[in-house]
Amino acid sequence: MTLAETEQLREKQQTEIDISKTIESRRSFGQFATPAQLANEIAVTTIPYLHKKSLDILEPSTGTGSFVSAFLRHAGERVTRITAIELDPDLFTAGTRLWSSFPVDYRNVDFTTAEPNALFDLVVANPPYVRHHVLEAERKRQLQRAVFSETGKWISGLAGLYCYFLLLSLKWMMQGALGVWLIPSEWMSVNYGEAIRSFFIKSVRLLKVHKFDASDVRFSDALVSSSVIWFRKDSPGGSADFMRGISLQTPDFSKTIPVAHLGSKGKWLPPVASGASSANAQLKDFFTIRRGIATGDNTFLCCPKPKRMSAISPPNISSRFF
Ligand SMILES: C[S@@+](CC[C@H](N)C(=O)[O-])C[C@H]1O[C@@H](n2cnc3c(N)ncnc32)[C@H](O)[C@@H]1O
């Protein structure tokens, strides 16, 4: 079978497998496949970062192989081998059969406990978005210990499974290797994302972060707003591109920020689209809003209504998003 025929069959089998499972079961394993068009877009935008002529690729949670297909299509002649890890026996069996005539090795193991059989030039992943309360306490402790011993970072117990996948991937990457991760964008703005933000500031070289709009229909079944991150296993520092919009190739907004300006404790608020105007901007675009701060001095804080509201211009926040 040609690559195009295999891809057609893969999409059909992915749908059949999705239908055969309950939504609860899919949620508990984080089984939401990457749409083919998005996997292709990610492959195309990744190619400029790949400098080696031959590529040994790892996909730590492969499913039926959306990324396998996209990278064979866009970088096929450079791909030496793709190691495809998948825990679910149904997806493992389907993937093994589908890609049997391509340079793809499926392994039916748990990525979080597996040991590297090799080091890779590229790790590309859409890891399982399993929420923390679905993870059993003992498993969470094992994951926290494993991440700590690999990276020296302690992940909050509130973090989802994808955070552990991301940090554990470092030991599978050779020096200079590229990591490309499609993950929920909440790591930028929640307290439990601190270990991830710190990882991108201190452990690797962050290259680019693209945040999709929350309304992007491509992610409707996973019900999350998503981001794609490109980083290199290299000395930290330099500058990273922050982008936002529906398209990876033509983002609505883009800004290059020195990594030294980013802090792991503070939230990385998503950049406000350059087109935000007083007509469509919301208060949350400009301020972090919290409830319940007692002032003790309302006469100071509660000002009389200004006479002409139009005289007040919005603050210039374009230079301090983070
Ligand atoms: C979000 S899906 C992505 C599938 C595929 N990478 C794609 O992009 O279409 C995550 C996949 O990880 C698998 N998975 C869940 N836990 C895993 C684990 N501990 N080790 C390896 N794979 C796992 C799920 O069965 C599922 O196929």
**Worst-scoring range by mean pLDDT, 62-66, 176-180, 184-188?**
184-188
186 domain-assigned: yes
State the pairing for strand pair 205-211/104-107: unpaired
CB of 95 within 6 A of ligand 1: the answer is no
Taking the CA atoms of residue 197, residue 201, residue 202 and residue 205 in that order, the dihedral angle to the nearest 10 degrees is: 120
The whole-model pTM stands at: 0.84
107 domain-assigned: yes
How much is the average pLDDT of 127-146?
A: 94
At 261-284, the pLDDT tens digits run 998 888 887 554 443 434 445 566
> Which helix (DSSP H) or strand (DSSP E) does residue 80 occupy?
strand 79-85
314 domain-assigned: no
102 domain-assigned: yes
Domains contained in the chain, number:
1
Q: Within 10 Å of residue 263's Cβ, how many Cβ atoms?
A: 13
The CATH number for 184's domain is: 3.40.50.150
At 82-104, the pLDDT tens digits run 999 999 999 999 999 999 999 99
Q: What is the pLDDT of residue 116?
A: 95
CB of 6 within 6 A of ligand 1: the answer is no
275 domain-assigned: no
CB of 112 within 6 A of ligand 1: the answer is yes
Pair of tokens at residue 265: 């404790």
CB of 85 within 6 A of ligand 1: the answer is yes
Q: Which of 10, 11, 29 to mutate to test the pocket of ligand 1 (most atoms within 8 A of CB)?
A: 29
228 domain-assigned: yes
301 domain-assigned: no
Range(s) of the domain holding residue 122: 3-261
**How far apart are the C-alpha atoms of 193 and 190, rounded to whole Å?**
5
71 domain-assigned: yes
Ligand 1 centroid from CA 13, angstroms: 15
Closest CA to 33 of 122, 77, 123, 95: 95
**How far apart are the C-alpha atoms of 166 and 111, rounded to whole Å?**
11
Closest CA to 208 of 184, 232, 234, 189: 232
> Which helix (DSSP H) or strand (DSSP E) does residue 226 occupy?
strand 226-232
What residues have CB less than 8 Å from 301, skipping those under 6 apart? 295
Q: Are 55 and 47 in contact (CB under 8 A)?
A: no
Ligand 1 centroid from CA 182, angstroms: 12
